[in-house]
């Protein structure tokens, strides 16, 4: 039996204090809707786009369990604009497995990037980041991920427990079907404290202060009842970095 611990969700009004005190916070879907002003039905309309993600061709373990799209945005002068398509880059200091190389992924489709719910979500989270760490310009990388069990095992974070080299990371669960596992684990980068829980509700979110916290998600396996069909876990991962994208400096 796989233990599943419920996420320690808080009220959106408590998020700033929680982030300053602890370095991470979890919101239920209703809390994300309240924080961002996004209607959950409008966000649900984005879900079909996760059915059209190309395979990640850069996995060094040779797996075929990860699909993704990636695009970049800039939030400046209270407006969100899509940046020219660029490679995703991380240093080896932050990603010992896939760092140090420029990974070109297919961009997020124009229909998704132009959707009002998408714009509202990214803009509102950028404003939240500015409340925690004032900045005039946020460089946002958006990753649509699908991890599936077609290989028998899917690894949401094949690089293991890590930081991302940004200011803040938002991990939004979009959905999970026919799987077990996928437990989120969060640790202090400079201390012994940590916690574990499983995001299960669509549009629930974990927000992290990347300088203070290390995170990972455990592998997923097919649910016994649905073993004949590959299961999957869909997420939207958003990273927020002040002033410039990784690789620019």
Could you report the per-residue pLDDT of 198-222, keeping only the tens digit for each?
Answer: 999 999 999 999 999 999 999 999 9
The domain at 12-242 falls in which architecture? Sandwich (2.60)
Inform me whether the pLDDT recorded for 168 exceeds 60: yes
Among all chains, which residue has been given the structure tokens 């010992």? 96
Contact 73, 140 (CB under 8 A): yes
Q: Which pLDDT score is estimated for 1?
A: 47
Q: Which pLDDT score is estimated for 94?
A: 62
What angle in degrees, to the nearest 10, is found between the helix axes of 116-132 and 15-22?
50
Question: What count of other Cβ atoms lies within 10 Å of the Cβ of residue 215?
Answer: 21
How does the average pLDDT of the chain come out, rounded? Answer: 93
Inform me whether the pLDDT recorded for 227 exceeds 70: no
Q: Give 126: exposed, middle or buried? Use CB within 10 Å, 0-12, 13-18, 19+.
A: buried
> Rounded to two decimals, what is the model's pTM?
0.95
Measured over the CA atoms of residue 8, residue 13, residue 14 and residue 15, the dihedral's sign is positive
User: Which residues fall within 8 angstroms of residue 41, CB to CB, at 6 or more apart?
Assistant: none
Least confident of 39-53, 77-91, 94-108: 94-108
């Amino acid at each position: 039996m796989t233990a599943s611990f419920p996420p320690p969700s808080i009220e959106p009004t408590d998020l700033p204090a929680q982030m300053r005190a602890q370095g991470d916070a979890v919101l239920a879907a209703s809390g994300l809707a309240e924080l961002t002003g996004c209607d959950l039905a409008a966000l649900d309309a984005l879900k079909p786009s996760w059915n059209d993600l190309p395979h990640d061709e850069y996995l060094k373990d040779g797996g075929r369990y990860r699909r993704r799209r990636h695009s970049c945005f800039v939030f400046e002068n209270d407006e969100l604009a899509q940046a020219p398509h660029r490679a995703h880059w991380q240093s080896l200091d932050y990603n010992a497995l896939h760092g140090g190389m420029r990974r070109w992924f297919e961009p997020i489709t124009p229909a998704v990037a132009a959707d009002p719910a998408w714009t509202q979500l990214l803009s509102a989270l950028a404003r939240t980041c500015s409340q925690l760490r004032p900045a005039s310009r946020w460089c946002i990388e958006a990753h649509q991920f699908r991890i599936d069990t077609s290989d028998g095992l899917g690894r949401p974070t094949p690089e293991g427990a890590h930081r991302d080299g940004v200011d803040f990371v938002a991990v939004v669960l979009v959905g999970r079907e026919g799987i077990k596992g996928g437990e989120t684990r969060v640790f202090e980068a400079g201390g012994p404290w940590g916690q574990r829980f499983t995001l299960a509700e669509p549009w629930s979110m974990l927000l992290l202060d990347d300088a203070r916290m290390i995170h990972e998600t455990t592998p997923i396996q097919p649910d016994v009842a649905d073993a004949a069909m590959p299961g999957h876990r869909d997420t939207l991962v958003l990273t927020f970095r002040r002033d410039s994208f990784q690789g620019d400096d």
